[in-house]
Amino acid sequence: MIIVSNTSPITNLSAIGKLHLLQQIHGEIIISSAVFEELTQWGDSIPGAKEVKTSNWIQVKPINNMGLVQTLKNQLDEGESSAIALALELNADWLIIDEQLGRQIAIEHNLKITGILGILIEAKRQGFIPLVKPILDDLINIAKFWVNPSLYNRILSIVRES
């Protein structure tokens, strides 16, 4: 499977010490050079920076279609634009992206998407985590990841923790 990730899933999962879930579920993920730059431009101060530089299961790939990136940058930031462009170039099985507009544009380009919440659901389904709620609470309280209260309750219902 080819899995491409945007920046925020890596930073948010790293902030709560759960980045390994991506490796457990997908084995390897691919990020664009722009996502790598967003994560590492300030040294190791951004959660996930050290991991993307040292983990052999996170691959950095360049993008050939910079024209598409430029077009997408009319609506999205460079990381999101490059993640979508790379997912399209590689014919990725999944794009991991959380930002609403980025998700919408990825869907318009016929990409299959998931996000951190989908990762948590899958991690529990595969038995990598016993409970979603404490991790979801850490995402909200530590990583400052915003989750709509109705979505929060729906996720807990899906994983039978409500």
How do residues 29-86 score in pLDDT, each as one tens digit? 999 999 999 999 988 889 999 999 999 999 999 999 999 999 999 999 999 999 999 9
Asked if residue 88 belongs to a domain, the reply is: yes
> What distance in Å separates the CA atoms of residue 123 and residue 83, rounded to the nearest whole number?
22
Q: What's the confidence (pLDDT) of residue 162?
A: 78
Residue for token pair 């590492």: 40
Distance between CA atoms of 73 and 78, rounded to whole angstroms?
A: 6
Domain that holds residue 68: 3-116
SS3 content of the chain, % helix, strand, coil (to 5): 55, 10, 35
C-alpha to C-alpha distances, 111 to 59, 66, 72, 85, nearest whole angstrom = 20, 18, 14, 10
pLDDT at 92: 97
Q: Give me the number of domains the chain comprises.
A: 1
The per-residue pLDDT for 10 is 97
Q: What is the pLDDT of residues 17-35, one digit of tens each?
A: 999 999 999 999 999 999 9
| CA–CA dist 133, 155 (Å, integer) | 9
Report d(CA 29, CA 38) in Å as an integer.
Answer: 16
* Inside any domain, residue 95: yes
- Residue 32 domain flag: yes
Q: 133-151, pLDDT tens digit by residue?
A: 999 999 999 999 999 999 9
Indicate whether 78 belongs to any domain.
yes
The predicted structure's pLDDT at residue 16: 97
Is position 153 within any domain?
no
Confidence (pTM) = 0.94
Residue 141 forms part of a structural domain: no
Is 4's pLDDT higher than 90? yes
CATH code, domain carrying 39: 3.40.50.1010
Q: Is residue 155 part of a domain?
A: no
Number of C-beta neighbours around residue 50 at 10 A? 15
Residue 100 covered by a domain: yes
